[in-house]
Structure 1
């Protein structure tokens, strides 16, 4: 995609939603971190349902450690892979208490060293909690980047690296939120809503859907 088209793409997405953010519900960096860990292979809606019950009871590393793994499982049992996620959350809480005085670190290296935290999770926390202009590539962004021709790549890291190069500086802070929301609600996996897409004319996707009669 040409540089001018990329600028136009993000200008239109910005006009639609000037202040995008994650759909995960949180009030502190720690709540966001736990929510993102829980969201792996799960929906934001499902995670929010669980954390609405969990966070009023335990929303700090010490409180979750006091709750314990078995009780934590009961709060998150509706989320996929809840057994391993509970184990990871307890382990990362212990590290935060022992090494960071219960605070969430704001560097990629420290975040990725936490159990259950990979590059994507670290990028979400860095961007949303700490204001770093990182790009967290999930399935939605991977799909949109490849379909549109914005940043084609064979794997998520290739797409992330390409997005880092092509997204203009003024759009970087909010870019991954715009792309996630666009992929979630417009450029959907099975049937993209191309007739309603604001970047349809810029997109390189060959199999665009047409409006219903």
Structure 2
């Protein structure tokens, strides 16, 4: 029971940190991660908040799990709902930085927090995020590698987001380069396993955003 409580607690801490990381990166104005370029572009073009588009896009992505025969967990459902809620909450309370040093600080914390948050919710072992599941589902049912599928998906959403008016910049590149190594660094430390179950974080795929 204690282990289950800890896993659930770590899941929701991870989702809250993920929402905070998104809010910090968006508020920095230096470029969002590919999926949030897309969410911000939708927000700017069609209204609704970035968090609302996070939820809507996550729900649509989960529908794509059906033909891929992917099974969501409580972590998957929670990811769809709560990352967007937390992102909107923190965007509402965070001050918008105007000085470049503060923008850089926001971006730096956001990127590191993205790695910690991803390791938290993946390490809880209660289900991947909807975009992670889409990536691994395509890989399992095709002859293409996870790396190729992830790149194709993220380049597609990044391009669509940019065309819709989302912010692309140095932060986009920084996140793309750093999220894999940071997740790899934190995941072994935050993976909660059953007794006698080995941790195989080193072989885990690089997660997509959210």
Q: The TM-score by the shorter chain falls in which range?
A: under 0.3
Higher relative contact order (Cα pairs below 8 Å, separated by 6+ residues):
2
Structure with greater proportional helix content: 2
